[in-house]
């Protein structure tokens, strides 16, 4: 028995297994689309178990459910992700430090030095200054903080 005959013989289970595979792909390639395609395939398979649906209408049902799922996700998912949180700088540590005054741990030589903030040592960029000088964090370039003398 080849795979095409197997799929034709067990059509509802093929949809359900295909949906589970799509859900597994969502775990590896996150983005939110495969979850809706997987759910649409599983619902299509469950529908075929209950109602006799022709092969063409199975694809129509799958397509409509997929498109509907993605549209609803885009509409309501974006709204949920745009909410203002209690901690807007979570996962944006460098931005959270802007405006803070700290003491240089290492002198800034040729534009580069180090500061210790809480439990982390940060590289800083700014004018040449001696160790122990107070500086204010005014910006960042990736993980390098830009500082000015206070």
Please give the pLDDT value at position 72.
Answer: 87
Domains annotated for the chain, with CATH where assigned, are 3-81 (no CATH), 93-149 (2.40.50.140)
> Which whole-number Å values give the CA distances from 8 to 5, 40, 136, in the listed order?
5, 19, 69
Please give the pLDDT value at position 105.
Answer: 94
**Residue 11, helix vs strand vs coil:** helix
Please give the pLDDT value at position 79.
Answer: 65
Task: Look at the pTM and tell me if it is higher than 0.75.
Answer: no
Please give the pLDDT value at position 96.
Answer: 87
Residue of 48, 49, 23 lying closest to 37 (CA atoms): 23
The residues facing 29 across adjacent strands are: none
DSSP 77-116: IHHHHTPPPS-TTTT-HHHHHTT-EEEEEEEEETTEEEEE
Those residues of the chain that have pLDDT short of 70 are: 1, 78-85, 88-89
Please give the pLDDT value at position 44.
Answer: 95
Residue 61: which residues within 8 A CB-CB, separation 6 or more? 43, 44, 47, 53
């Amino acid at each position: 028995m080849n795979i095409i005959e197997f799929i034709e013989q067990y059509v509802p289970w093929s949809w359900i297994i295909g949906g589970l595979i799509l859900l597994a792909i969502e775990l590896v390639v996150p983005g939110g689309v495969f979850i809706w395609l997987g759910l649409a395939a599983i619902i299509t398979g469950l529908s075929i178990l209950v109602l006799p649906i022709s092969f063409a209408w199975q694809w129509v049902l799958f397509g409509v459910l997929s498109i509907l799922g993605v549209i609803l996700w885009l509409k309501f998912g974006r709204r949920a992700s745009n909410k203002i949180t209690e901690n807007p700088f979570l996962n944006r540590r460098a931005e959270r430090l802007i405006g803070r005054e700290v003491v240089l741990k290492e002198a800034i030589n040729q534009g580069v030095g180090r500061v210790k903030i809480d439990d982390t040592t940060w590289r800083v960029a700014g004018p040449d200054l001696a160790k122990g000088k107070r500086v204010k964090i005014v910006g960042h370039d990736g993980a390098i903080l830009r500082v000015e003398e206070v």
